[in-house]
Amino acid sequence: MSKAMHTELRLAQRMSRLGTETAFEVLAKARALEAKGQNIVHLEIGEPDFDTPAHIVDAAVDALHQGFTHYGPSAGLPELRKAIADEVGATRHTKVSADEVVVVPGGKPIIFFTMLALVEQGDEVIYPNPGFPIYESMIQFVGATAVPIQLREEMDFRLDTRELKSLITPRTKLIILNSPQNPTGGVMTLQDVEEVAAIVAETGVMVLSDEIYSHLIFDGDHHSLFSYDHLRDQVILLDGFSKTYAMTGWRMGYGVMRTDLAQQIARLVTNSNSCTASFTQKAGIEAICGPQASVAVMNDEFKKRRDYFAGRINRIRGFHCRLPKGAFYMFPSIAGTGWKSKPLADALLEEAGVAALSGTAFGSYGEGYLRFSIANSLDNIRIALDRIEAWVEKNVEEKAAKSLARNL
Ligand code: PLP
């Protein structure tokens, strides 16, 4: 038999510009350590540890039996689009029609499709840094220039609106906002949103407002740029089911936008996924229109974990952490340890058995921070903090931590 020929894989140039989400890589590394017998507490992955509520699962099973197993319209089932329009209208204090809604398999495709539909080579896109890594990845993939706006700890990780204004140029095609924010838990105040609304009105720039954590807020209310009727032509709202209803694996999210753009995004769906799974969408109707108690239960539990985590990590040498106001992540500064983020995240995984993400997984301004997901039980969070504390006792010198802390 002749030897199989090995042909060189010649990828398209654009693939070299595509980034990734480190959480999945750290998860794989943690699983490999587990396979070798090491015990790991998982605080790396950003998905609720709760099960999807039973009434939503039942709706999907019923839909399967009823034959919702076929292709559906690319923009989504009309009943689901209507339910989303009503829900977004109620929560953002405005009126929304079903033809402004596009249902897609997860929140992520709205980032992907918006970028493909609007952004060209040479355009500039302003995005939060530290921020969800897919923004920077997609901006670069489409050949645009990624313009970071730094979120600073001293501002509770809210963006500085004056800085935002100063970054806008004639080439700015899109601004990406994210509140409540991943990875910092920062939340825009009403005043922040008003100031951004004024900038957006003045400049005419389009905005992708990623509100995937809109229901996961601990203190105060969620404020959205989508509530400003005079900006509706410029704002694309991203929200979905993954985080609110613990449905990450179902893959269902949506965008709400001007109808002419919604039609174009639906064309991108036709060209890629064809549609979102039909029985999944039936479950989505139940999620929105059925009982909402599970959302409050999850929120209360995340809040308890947040308070516990912050109370303990702030007593660990070299760490300090603000209280996040939403989402389910803790983003402590590690500046006082004298360690850089990536080596510290690696050491905690390999030597302490705690999986967390380096702040730099969320962009260059994430240096000096770690991200811990609190989507794990309070018992496991307690074990993780015990392990971190013990590891720090051995590996971070008290004197060094004190002098570093003084210089912060
Ligand atoms: N946007 C942000 C800020 C996120 O953190 C995530 C998921 O982690 C998404 C979008 C994507 O959500 P989905 O899993 O529904 O695609």
- Boundary (domain end) residue, out of 270, 289, 308: 289
- What pTM was estimated for this model as a whole? 0.95
Picking from 289, 315, 349, the residue at the C-terminal end of a domain is 289
Which domain-ending residue is among 237, 266, 289? 289
Could you tell me if residue 61 is inside a domain?
A: yes
Q: Which two tokens stand for residue 372?
A: 């811990």
Amino acid at 76: G
Query: Is residue 395 classed exposed, middle or buried when 0-12, 13-18 and 19+ CB atoms within 10 A define those classes?
Result: middle
Q: What is the dihedral of CA 95, 238, 107, 270, to 10 degrees?
A: 70
**Do residue 189 and residue 323 come from a single domain?**
no
CATH code for position 322: 3.90.1150.10
277 lies in the same domain as 299 = no
With respect to residue 182, please indicate whether it lies within any of the assigned structural domains. Answer: yes
Are both 83 and 218 inside the same structural domain?
A: yes
Structural domain tally of the chain?
2
CA-closest residue to ligand 1 atom 8: 46
Q: Residue 234, SS3?
A: coil
Residue-by-residue DSSP string for 181-224:
-TTT-----HHHHHHHHHHHHHH--EEEEE-TTTT-BSSS----
Cβ(253) – ligand 1 distance below 6 Å: yes
- In short, whether 178's Cβ falls inside 6 Å of ligand 1 is yes
Contact 240/84 with Cβ under 8 angstroms?
no
Å from CA of 58 to ligand 1 middle: 25
Cβ–ligand 1 distance for 248 under 6 Å, the answer yes
Same domain, residue pair 262 and 321: no
222 part of a folded domain: yes
Per-residue pLDDT of the chain (408 residues; tens, 9 = 90+): 566 778 999 999 999 999 988 888 899 999 999 999 999 999 998 888 899 999 999 999 999 999 999 999 999 999 999 999 999 999 999 999 999 999 999 999 999 999 999 999 999 999 999 999 999 999 999 999 999 999 999 999 999 999 999 999 999 999 999 999 999 999 999 999 999 999 999 999 999 999 999 999 998 899 999 999 999 999 999 999 999 999 999 999 999 999 999 999 999 999 999 999 999 999 999 999 999 999 999 999 999 999 999 999 999 999 999 999 999 999 999 999 999 999 999 999 999 999 999 999 999 999 999 999 999 999 999 999 999 999 999 999 865 555 555 555
Residues 147, 161: one domain? yes
Q: Are residues 168 and 310 in the same domain?
A: no
Q: Is residue 2 part of a domain?
A: no
Domain assignment present for residue 336? The answer is yes
Question: Where residue 94 sits, what CATH number does that domain have?
Answer: 3.40.640.10
- Enclosing domain of residue 104: 56-289
User: Is 189 a domain residue?
Assistant: yes
CA of residue 131 to ligand 1 center, whole Å = 11
- Ligand 1 center from residue 347 Cα (angstroms): 27
